[in-house]
C-alpha cells in the first residue's frame, strides 16, 4: 500500500491540474499557445479558441501529441453569441471549466489624435470587452461549483504610459481595474481572479518594433507564471504578477 500511495502522490505532484478543464482564449499561437501547453502538461484538459482555424488545428495536434485532452473552437470573443457556443461546446466536450485564461489581445499603437474610432473599438473590444463577456459566461458555473480560477493576461502597459500607447494602455489599465473588482465580487464564492502583467514578450505581436531577444520575455515565461497561479495553495490568493526580463531592455 505504501508503494501505491507513493506512486499516487508522485502522479499528483506531476499533474496537479489533473481533472481540471482550462479555457484559453487566443490559444492558437504565441502566448496563448504556450499557456495551453503549460496547463496541459500540468494535467488539465484544454479548450483553445481563436479566430484562425488553421493555427488552432495545429496547436491542438501538438497538445494531443503528449496525451492532452483538447478541444479547439473557432470564435470571436468580442461577440456574446460566439462565446455562448464556445463555452457550451467546451463543457460538453471536456467538462465544467475550472480555469479561464483571458489571453486574447491585440495591439494598436500610435498617437491618439491620429487614431480612428474603429481603432479604439477594435482594441478595447478585444482586450477589455472580451474579458467581461467570457468571464460573465463562465463565472455562473464556477459559482455553482464553489470555486475556479480566472487569470487575465494584462501588461505592464496597464501600469505605465508611453508615447503612442494611448489606446493600448487604456485597454490594459481598464483590465487592471476590471480584474480587481471581479476578484472582490467572486472571492466569496471561492473563485480567484488574478492578473499577470508581462513586459515585452518575443512574439509576432510587438508594439515597439524589433527588440534584443536576450532582453525580452518569452511566451513560455508568461505560461510559467500562469501555471504558478493555477497551482497555488487552495487558501492562497495571488492577485497580481508583474513579469520582467532579468536584463533590462
CB 147 within 8 A of CB 99: no
DSSP string, 84-112: HHHHHHHHHHH-S--EEEE-------S-G
Give start and end residues of each alpha helix (H) in the chain.
Answer: 2-14, 30-41, 53-65, 80-94, 117-124, 130-145, 166-186, 219-230
- Cβ atoms < 10 Å from Cβ of 65: 8
What is the distance between the alpha carbons of residues 147 and 138, in angstroms, rounded to a whole number? 11
How distant, in Å, are the alpha carbons of 42, 140, 141, 175 from that of 187? 24, 13, 14, 18
Closest CA to 203 of 166, 240, 153, 139: 153
Task: Quote the cell numbers at residue 4.
Answer: 501505491
Could you give the residue numbers annotated as active site? Answer: 168
Q: Which residues pair with 22 in a beta bridge?
A: 46, 99
d(CA 223, CA 219): 6
Amino acid at each position: 500500500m505504501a508503494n501505491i500511495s507513493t506512486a499516487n502522490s508522485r502522479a499528483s505532484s506531476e499533474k496537479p491540474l489533473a481533472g481540471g478543464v482550462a479555457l484559453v482564449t487566443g490559444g492558437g499561437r504565441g502566448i496563448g499557445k504556450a499557456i495551453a501547453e503549460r496547463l496541459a502538461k500540468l494535467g488539465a484538459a484544454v479548450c483553445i479558441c481563436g479566430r484562425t482555424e488553421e493555427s488552432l488545428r495545429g496547436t491542438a495536434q501538438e497538445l494531443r501529441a503528449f496525451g492532452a485532452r483538447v478541444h479547439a473552437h473557432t470564435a470571436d470573443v468580442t461577440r456574446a453569441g460566439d462565446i455562448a457556443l464556445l463555452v457550451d461546446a467546451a463543457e460538453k466536450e471536456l467538462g465544467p471549466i475550472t480555469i479561464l485564461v483571458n489571453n486574447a489581445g491585440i495591439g494598436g499603437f500610435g498617437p491618439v489624435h491620429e487614431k480612428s474610432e474603429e481603432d479604439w473599438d477594435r482594441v478595447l473590444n478585444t482586450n477589455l470587452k472580451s474579458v467581461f463577456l467570457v468571464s460573465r459566461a463562465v463565472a455562473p458555473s464556477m459559482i455553482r461549483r464553489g470555486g475556479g480560477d480566472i487569470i487575465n493576461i494584462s501588461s505592464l502597459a496597464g501600469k505605465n504610459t508611453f508615447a503612442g500607447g494611448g489606446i493600448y494602455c487604456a485597454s490594459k489599465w481598464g483590465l487592471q481595474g476590471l480584474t480587481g473588482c471581479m476578484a472582490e465580487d467572486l472571492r466569496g464564492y471561492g473563485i480567484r481572479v488574478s492578473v499577470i502583467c508581462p513586459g515585452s514578450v518575443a512574439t509576432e505581436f510587438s508594439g515597439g518594433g524589433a527588440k534584443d531577444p536576450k532582453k525580452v520575455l518569452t511566451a513560455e515565461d508568461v505560461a510559467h507564471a500562469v501555471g504558478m497561479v493555477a497551482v497555488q495553495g487552495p487558501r492562497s490568493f495571488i492577485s497580481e504578477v508583474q513579469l520582467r526580463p532579468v536584463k533590462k531592455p
